[in-house]
Amino acid sequence: MGFLQLLSLSVNVLCLIQKVPQIYRIYKTKDVESISIASVLLEETAYTLVLTYNLWRNYPLSTFFEYVFLFVQDLLLLLAIWKYSKKDNKDKDKLSDPSTPLYGILTFCLYLLISVVGLVPSAWMRMCTMLVIPIGASSKIAQLRIILTNKSAGQVSRPGWMIACYNNFARIITNLVETRDMSMVLNLFISLILNLSIVIACTIYKYGPVRKSKDKKKKKTT
């Protein structure tokens, strides 16, 4: 049990700073060109559903406490996107309304409130776990698409996604041992694969589009 507690503690500590590099980059550069608004909104939807589901099931706080930090940090990320998307709105996510992040913030906070109060039906809570997987996967696919389309990582924070990979791996272990909730384990496993894909894409396109070497062209002409 000591090992599991250590894993949970490491996840909680890392989640305190998981989104900080991303938020810092946005405020520093005032640029959100490579950030997918759709990805952040979908990701926050998944975080909200997972957080409220765990609270509803009365699972040990140690198994999901990081979602509290992630929930708050994504709200701050949405606030940063709203602040700077007015100057950088290129309709890349077809979310042209600059107020969209604000609407998202209000919706997530309201849902969390009515869930804690107990106004959300139990049937919906049980069904939430089935929705988390496609929503969470879609959020990562949306961000991956932006990187691959632009062929540039831009302001996307690779360290943040690497932390997410570690957290997924650690939570797979703790959930297998403590809750044995296979729907949560499946969601974490899919998230791990997609998070790794984003890390790889950020590594490949860290410095912008990959340039073809001129040597090949010279060889063809000789």
Q: Where does the chain have alpha helices with state H?
A: 2-15, 20-29, 37-57, 66-85, 100-117, 122-150, 158-178, 182-204, 214-221
Question: Which element (helix H / strand E) includes 1?
Answer: none
d(CA 23, CA 155): 10
Q: What pLDDT was estimated at residue 8?
A: 80
Q: Where do the domains of the chain lie?
A: 2-221
- What three-state secondary structure class fits 59? coil
d(CA 119, CA 170): 32
Q: What are phi and psi of 156, to 5 degrees?
A: -70, 130
| Contact call for residues 128 and 52 (beta carbons, < 8 A) | yes
Which pTM does this prediction carry?
0.77
Residue count of the chain: 222
Contacts of 92 by beta carbon, 8 Å cutoff, 6+ apart: 33, 36, 146
| Contact call for residues 197 and 137 (beta carbons, < 8 A) | no
Q: What are phi and psi of 38, to 5 degrees?
A: -60, -40
List the chain pLDDT tens, one digit each, 222 residues: 578 888 888 887 888 888 888 888 888 888 887 888 999 999 999 999 989 988 888 888 777 887 888 899 999 999 998 988 765 444 445 455 668 899 999 999 999 999 988 898 888 888 887 888 899 899 999 999 999 998 888 778 888 899 999 989 998 988 888 878 887 788 889 889 999 999 999 999 887 665 544 444 444 554
DSSP letter at 211?
A: P
| Contact call for residues 37 and 101 (beta carbons, < 8 A) | yes
d(CA 182, CA 174): 12
Q: What are phi and psi of 112, to 5 degrees?
A: -60, -40
